[in-house]
Amino acid sequence: MAYKILDTCISCGACAADCPVSCISQGDTIYVVDAAACIDCGTCASVCPVGAPVQE
């Protein structure tokens, strides 16, 4: 199950920098996950200071 990023995202970029498959990018207002490329590793959730990445 892929991760998604909630509206609580503060756009710090920590998740994108640490994603091992580079499936996270800056969206219009928050970072977004490409669900097709996400390998469900949880790295994004572990580095996010506000807990914005969650499993869908």
CA gap 29, 1 in Å, rounded: 24
pLDDT digits (tens, 9 = 90+) for 1-56: 899 999 999 999 999 999 999 999 999 999 999 999 999 999 999 999 999 999 99
Distances (CA, A) of 34 to 21, 45, 51: 10, 15, 18
Please tell me what DSSP assigns to residue 24. Answer: E
CATH code for the part of the protein at 3-55: 3.30.70.20
Sequence ranges of the domains in the chain: 3-55
Query: Is the model's pTM score more than 0.85?
Result: yes
